[in-house]
Amino acid sequence: MDYLVIGCGLTGSVIARNLAERNKQVTILERRSHIGGNMYDYVDNHGFLVQKYGPHIFHTKNESLYNFMCRFEKWQDFKLICGAKWDNKYTPTPFNYTTIDTFYPPDYATFLKRKLNAAFDGRSTASVLEVLKHPDCDIRNYAQYLFLNDYAPYTAKQWGVSPSEIDPSVLKRVPLRFSYSEGYFDDPYEAMPVHSYTCFFKNLLAHPNITLKLNIEALNYLRIKEKQLFFDGSPIDIPVIYTGAIDELFECCYGRLPYRSLRFEWRYEEKDSLQDAPVVAYPQAEGYTRITEFKKLPIQKRKGTSYALEFPMPYKKDETLEPYYPVLTEESKYQYEQYRRLALQLPNLICCGRQADFQYYNMDQALSRALEISKYILGNDTL
């Protein structure tokens, strides 16, 4: 064995494949019973392909990243449409001029759209934070309406803290559109796998130099003593690529980093359609944030519909939950930096991925990071 990889989500699997193609022997240890990390999907009892850990759509502006994904699976163009619903009214998200038409009287809607066109001339979007600070009171009031009815209640449920405590980058993820354009992403490459994400991972990991071991909790064997890595009681000198939660690797010596987790409530109904879009946020709903209707992600022509409600909650290691989202605050970023410095003291340890980097990565960002780490390991580039 030349390399040990902890975790076979996108980051760990891509690094393992790149090393294997350079004739390196790689062993992957995965604590779960399946490959693919949070991108894992399967066919449920009703015949629908569903994603166990919530909706994933690959999207990117980078053609080379898209081409990499195409090496291991066929992809179909898929433009994700999302929405939000409150006061029994549905609107597309990101919010656009349809939103204004839906929630305001016609005359005022026309007036407000003209003001927005003038105020943001030449621009297609702006963050809600920017619009909230606009000097025009009508424009500010529109942003405040959206903030109070969607951003604030959704954020409070999703992150478990006041919006004022959240890193501004979180609130910037969903902008306001100054047009009738729909679609959650604006990237030129937006696709879903023709077969499944699990099929993609099977092909990605299908290399004779990769040994995969499932149902193994690496942290039961991996220890750090006196700035050296030990595995199963013995020193380990080969490079270890770690993609798990960085605080747990160091036995939470600086305290637990805050992650948000999700509980999914799975349902099936004998109806052709549940909601207007595949993914719809319900900011006024009790407990859950959104519903994903999987027969629309991608389109699956079967009777009935399978869907999942998402209930955010704090991550606790011993409650069989997954750490999905790092809660980025000034305190948590400082706390992470302490762990990062510890990791740098171990020359054969490489931490990367959403949990190990304590970053909210989209799939293309995780892929880019994995390719960057691969080049670094193989000596073709530097970080």
CB-count burial class (<10 Å; 0-12, 13-18, 19+) for 318? exposed
* CB atoms inside a 10 Å sphere around CB 19: 23
Of all residues in the chain, what percent are helix, strand and coil, respectively (each to 5)? 35, 25, 40
Query: Angle 106-119/137-146 helices, nearest 10 degrees?
Result: 110
Q: What is the pLDDT of residue 169?
A: 64
Q: What is the pLDDT of residues 210-241, one digit of tens each?
A: 999 999 999 999 999 988 999 999 999 999 99
Specify the higher pLDDT residue, 98 or 163: 98
For 272, half-sphere exposure in the C-beta direction (CA atoms, 13 angstrom radius) is 1
Which one, of 224, 272, 275, 271, lies nearest residue 249 by Cα? 224
* CB atoms inside a 10 Å sphere around CB 280: 22
Domain regions of the chain by residue span:
3-73+192-257+327-377, 82-177, 259-318
Q: What is the pLDDT of residue 252?
A: 94
Q: What is the pLDDT of residues 321-380, one digit of tens each?
A: 888 888 888 899 999 999 999 999 999 999 999 999 999 899 999 999 999 999 999 985
For residue 160, what pLDDT band results from cuts at 50, 70 and 90?
confident
Q: What is the pLDDT of residues 81-139, one digit of tens each?
A: 999 999 999 999 999 999 999 999 999 999 999 999 999 999 999 999 899 999 999 99
CA–CA dist 23, 41 (Å, integer): 30
Number of helical H runs and strand E runs in the chain: 13, 22
**Strands 3-6 and 240-242, how do they pair?**
parallel
Question: What H or E segment, with its residue span, contains residue 76?
Answer: strand 75-77
CA 30 to chain centre: 19
CA–CA dist 69, 187 (Å, integer): 15
CA–CA dist 261, 31 (Å, integer): 17
Helix (H, G, I), strand (E, B) or coil at 204: helix
Contact 34, 40 (CB under 8 A): yes
Which one, of 5, 27, 34, 47, lies nearest residue 197 by Cα? 34
Q: What is the CATH number of domain 3-73+192-257+327-377?
A: 3.40.50.720
What percentage of the chain has pLDDT greater than the value 90? 85
* For residue 382, pLDDT beyond 90: no
